[in-house]
Amino acid sequence: MNSIGLKIIAHSLQRIAIIFNPFAGGLKGPNRARLDAAVDTLKRAGRTVELFPTTGPNMAGELGRVAIDRDFDLLLAAGGDGTINEVLNGIVGSQIVFGALPSGTANVLANEVGLSGRPDRAAGELLGAVPVRIGVGAFDQTGQARRHFLLMAGVGLDARIVHELDLDLKKKIGKLSYWHGGFKQLGRDMPRFRIRVGEVEREASFALVSRVRNYGGDFEIAKSVRLTDSDFEIVIQEKQHGLDFVKFVANVALNRLKHADGVTVLRGTEAVLTPVGTGEFHVQTDGEAVGVGASRISMVPDAVTLLLPKKYVG
């Protein structure tokens, strides 16, 4: 593990901008009251709060830049991991303090750092949190703009699930739609790809390049990485058949992954991905499909100031 000396930022967090996705699972209909309660909690603590609703895809990053231009001290993203990722991509490299009011289908960040998945409860928890300067991941592919991520990048199996996800089903059953997509992969062989990490190269059908231990809110694949580390934990599954992935999940559940046949666990700051033969493979970051084929994943140090609970920072 490569842990950086934690850079805790002294900052007065009085003016708060909240970017929220009104269609997020935790904010629709009567659940909107939870966001209003979060705002009340922050105001009772003496903070000034302004709400910025998104009105369409990819708008959250633009609103993040508006918050920077208007000199807000703290920017909170209210929604799922997708909303958090959108805001992140609008503010990487800036000095604004960034945090999450988790309230969507998937709340990997909340599970990872020990925040409540409800915004009304998380707001009170964030009042005692500390701003820490950390690195983030970056996905690069020829012909595309760089895409940053806070949590993880998945290559192969899970990225194909994300790519083929039934969005209407996701609206109805939430996170269960990912499990539905996973069961559809049984019996299918996955396209092979090469992944190179430093001097190590493997042929694989799945790889997780992770900044967090929590995976999808249900279990851990990467076991020792933290957001405050300066590198990734990289887990590579070399076998490609459906039953091999059943065994992979069983080894994850039993905490035997490091000793499993056909699995490699590494630490590194860069992963280079290339296809094997003519097969295409998918890549996802923070649960969003971002590309197909040859690409590069790397660490961007000193990238964002993230508001983290004291118990996570340690």
Q: What is the largest CA-CA distance in the chain?
A: 60
Structural domain contains residue 125: yes
| 130 shares its domain with 235 | no
Structural domain contains residue 2: no
Structural domain contains residue 228: yes
| 84 shares its domain with 170 | no
Phi–psi pair at 117, nearest 5 degrees:
-80, 0
pLDDT tens over the chain, length 314 residues? 555 456 666 567 999 999 998 877 778 788 899 999 999 999 999 999 999 999 888 899 999 999 999 999 999 999 888 889 999 999 999 999 999 998 876 688 999 999 998 899 999 999 999 999 999 999 999 999 999 999 999 998 888 877 766 555 455 545 554 554 455 555 566 778 999 999 999 999 899 999 999 886 667 889 999 999 999 999 998 876 555 666 776 666 657 677 677 889 999 999 999 999 877 899 999 989 999 999 999 999 999 999 999 999 97
| CATH number for 52 | 3.40.50.10330
Structural domain contains residue 288: yes
Q: Say what the pTM is.
A: 0.88
| 126 shares its domain with 171 | no
Structural domain contains residue 246: yes
**DSSP for the chain?**
--BPPPEEPP----EEEEEE-TTSTTTSGGGHHHHHHHHHHHHHTT-EEEEEE--STT-HHHHHHHHHHTT-SEEEEEESHHHHHHHHHHHTT--SEEEEEE-SS--HHHHHHT--SSHHHHHHHHTT-EEEEEEEEEEE-TTS--EEESSEEEEEHHHHHHHT--HHHHHHHTTHHHHHHHHTTTTPPPPPEEEEETTEEEEESEEEEES-SEETTTEESS-S--TTBSSEEEEEE---SHHHHHHHHHHHHTT-GGGSTTEEEEEESEEEEEESTT---EEEETTEEEEESSEEEEEEEEEEEEEE-HHHH-
| 129 shares its domain with 145 | no
Structural domain contains residue 1: no
Structural domain contains residue 91: yes
| 143 shares its domain with 124 | no
For residue 269, which of 193, 197, 194 has the smallest C-alpha distance?
A: 197
| 127 shares its domain with 144 | no
Structural domain contains residue 227: yes
| 101 shares its domain with 143 | no
| 114 shares its domain with 85 | yes
| 102 shares its domain with 40 | yes
For residue 85, which of 66, 114, 107 has the smallest C-alpha distance?
A: 107
| CATH number for 263 | 2.60.200.40
Domain total for the chain?
Answer: 2
| 128 shares its domain with 14 | yes
CA distances from 257 to 112, 143, 212, 264 (A): 20, 36, 16, 9
For residue 298, which of 262, 265, 273 has the smallest C-alpha distance?
A: 273
| 143 shares its domain with 280 | yes
| 155 shares its domain with 275 | yes
Owning domain of residue 78: 7-134+303-313
